[in-house]
Chains A and B, each alone.
Chain A
Amino acid sequence: DTAVSQTPKYLVTQMGNDKSIKCEQNLGHDTMYWYKQDSKKFLKIMFSYNNKELIINETVPNRFSPKSPDKAHLNLHINSLELGDSAVYFCASSRASGIPTEQYFGPGTRLTVT
């Protein structure tokens, strides 16, 4: 069974389009995250949700809108895509408390904007 899954795995689209990435976890975790990993391999937190509530919103353009319909799902919608949005987007989940609270990552979505 896949713990954290994302769809699609690859996404190629043109500038100006709107696209969504879906994420689901079956680990029973309360907290979910979206990360962006750029070409230099830098992994940067974008958002985190706890029990469907937005907790962390880093300085991300408001073209990016996360939505959590329930605590097992966290989707990412991106409006008006730009060239600089090209990256790998990882979804992750973790328990809300305990030690350690390691994060489990999905396989990633490689977004290419042309």
Chain B
Amino acid sequence: GQNIDQPTEMTATEGAIVQINCTYQTSGFNGLFWYQQHAGEAPTFLSYNVLDGLEEKGRFSSFLSRSKGYSYLLLKELQMKDSASYLCAVTLGAGNNRKLIWGLGTSLAVNP
């Protein structure tokens, strides 16, 4: 079966740095996405990793180790608006048969 694990909840302080981990065991791998979902809203794309290493986009960075089945999302200089759920999703298949398998998400609360 396909399995993606993330912590259920995390708490951090405004201005701090937080790392959200994601481990996966899947039959196949064609990339890993991180999405942000605010309560009552749709998921929005944050980052994508297909090769090992770190991808940086402003305050957000995402890391991937394919051999370890592991990724993390790093959020720097936390702001109150970063309070949201962060979803890790693994791409299986290719071309038209490509689909995403989603983790349950990590609910991040940023406190003043």
Binding site for B on A (CB under 8 A): 31, 40-45, 48, 50, 55-56, 90, 96-97, 99-108
Contact = CB atoms under 8 A, between A and B. Distances in A.
B50 A107 contact: no
B110 interface: no
A107 B38 CA distance: 11
A41 B44 contact: no
Contacts of B98: 101
Contacts of B87: 43
Given A96-B96, A104-B45, A108-B41, 20 more contacts: A40-B104, A41-B85, A42-B102, A42-B104, A43-B43, A43-B87, A43-B105, A45-B99, A55-B96, A55-B97, A56-B97, A90-B43, A96-B95, A97-B95, A99-B48, A102-B33, A103-B100, A105-B44, A107-B42, A108-B42
Given A41-B104, A42-B102, A107 B95 contact: no
A105 B87 CA distance: 14
A41 B45 contact: no
Interface residues of B, number: 21
Interface centre among B48, B98, B104 (most CB of A within 10 A): B98
Given A43-B102, A100-B31, A102-B33, A50 B96 contact: yes
Contact of A100 (B44, B48, B104): B48
A104 B43 CA distance: 8
Contact of B43 (A50, A96, A101, A105): A105
